[in-house]
Amino acid sequence: MPGNHGRASVPAKKVVTISDVARKAGVSRWVAGHVLNQGAGNSRVGPEAAERIREVALKLNYHANHAAMLLRGKRSYTFGVLVASAGDPLRSFLVQDFDAEAIKVGCHVMIGNTIGNPTIGPNQFDFLVEEFSRRRVDGVLCAVHRWFEGDRLALVEQHPNTIFYEDSAVSGWPCVAVDREHAMRLAVRHLVGRGRRRIGLAVMSLSRPNHLERRTGYEKELQQNGLALDERLIFNGESTGTIFAQCNETTARWEFPIEAMDAVIDRLVRDGGADAIVAHNDFWAAALIKRMRGRGISVPQHVSVIGYLNHYLADWTDPALTTIDLCHEAAAGRMVEMLENMIAGGHLPEAERVVKIQPRLIVRESA
């Protein structure tokens, strides 16, 4: 029968403690604790005693009491994850992969959505930073874009073991980001290889440093292939004043005005004569494909399209989307590794603070 517990407190089931193990193994609590809960390789306990203790612990199904360790000052083996919304198309992969990597080093992940929950108060980000402190998380992954509210300085002050994903937000702080320059080079190179010469770039913004990297990669690869840069082939979403994606405050779901992509088609294809478009992300790409079909422009025959993200969506566009895979798994692995280094050893060497993840191109049908 479910839940016949007391009110706010949970009756401690009879649980085996370090004393039980010590008694049964015929050693002191000190020795038992040392063998079981401290790092291995200590000189002070004989190997045969250690073995015996471990056996007893196994038989008794002993597990160190987490709360007691924590109270005593040990680490919590818990990471906090700050995301705008965990259901977000990109973050959901990141959350999954980060958890998978965390578990490998014995850590669990505590979720923290920073938007869409006004009941918490005016600023969920700051609230969660405090909560994570109270829970004594060992480290924090912050994957919240910098344009969302939240005191990043307070975050890193309270949680020195913080790592950022994509938007570093605090200059010089450890950050793992996709190599966007490389991503754009992969895309352009592929298109050139398919005979495209009028390659357009459509991005949400060029004022944000992250997005600017895309332009750099785009330009470099054009140059490398002897193609001239034509400003008419670059679409900067900022100039249109349209908000291309925003999170609905009440549903906490992302919304996207598909029709807004018509402006991209007008500028790049109709006016600029583009025969290919490298899109801001898979959603832009999917919308471009959809709207171009409506205008009789076929993909990839007339215009090739390349996305960025490799969301589930990519298989379902028609034609299926050729896109840049962001390799979240690699990013997650790297972040956990860095976090563990920070926890164990203190400073990360300057050179290892900003890590670029090499994305890869997934070729489907749209380019």
Residue 235's binding partner, choosing from DNA, a second copy, none, with beta-carbon cut-off 5 to 8 A by kind? none
Q: Closest Cα partner for 328 from 91, 103, 81, 84?
A: 91
Least distance to DNA, CB of residue 12, Å: 5
Instruction: Say if CB 324 and CB 297 are below 8 A apart.
Output: no
Residue 44's binding partner, choosing from a second copy, DNA, none, with beta-carbon cut-off 5 to 8 A by kind? DNA
Residue 348's binding partner, choosing from a second copy, DNA, none, with beta-carbon cut-off 5 to 8 A by kind? a second copy
Question: What residues contact 239, with CB distance under 8 A and at least 6 apart?
Answer: none
CA dist 187 and 189 (Å) reads 5
* Nearer of residues 61 and 207 to a second copy, judged by Cβ: 61
For residue 254, report the phi and psi dihedrals to the nearest 5 degrees.
-80, 140
Residue 290's binding partner, choosing from DNA, a second copy, none, with beta-carbon cut-off 5 to 8 A by kind? a second copy
Q: Which of 28, 30, 63, 224 binds a second copy (CB under 8 A)?
A: 63
Q: Closest Cα partner for 274 from 234, 233, 305?
A: 233
CA dist 96 and 104 (Å) reads 13
Which residues inside 54-93 make contact with DNA, applying CB under 7 A?
62-65, 68-69, 71-74
Q: Which of 59, 232, 270, 293 binds a second copy (CB under 8 A)?
A: 293
Question: What is the number of residues in the chain?
Answer: 367
* Nearer of residues 67 and 351 to DNA, judged by Cβ: 67
The answer to whether residue 59 forms part of the interface with a second copy (CB under 8 A) is no
CA dist 98 and 105 (Å) reads 11
The answer to whether residue 33 forms part of the interface with DNA (CB under 7 A) is yes
SS3 state at 111: strand
Say if residue 230 is exposed, middle or buried (CB neighbours under 10 Å; 0-12, 13-18, 19+).
middle
Strands 246-247 and 254-255: antiparallel
Q: Which of 19, 46, 59, 104 binds a second copy (CB under 8 A)?
A: 104
- Span interacting with DNA, options 29-37, 155-163, 318-326, 334-342, rule CB under 7 A: 29-37
Instruction: Say if CB 98 and CB 81 are below 8 A apart.
Output: yes
* Nearer of residues 34 and 311 to a second copy, judged by Cβ: 311
* Nearer of residues 51 and 151 to DNA, judged by Cβ: 51
Residue 17's binding partner, choosing from DNA, a second copy, none, with beta-carbon cut-off 5 to 8 A by kind? DNA
Other residues' Cβ atoms within 10 Å of the Cβ of residue 319: 17
The answer to whether residue 46 forms part of the interface with DNA (CB under 7 A) is yes
Binding site for DNA (CB under 7 A): 9, 12, 15, 17-19, 27-31, 33-34, 36-38, 43-46, 49, 62-65, 68-69, 71-74
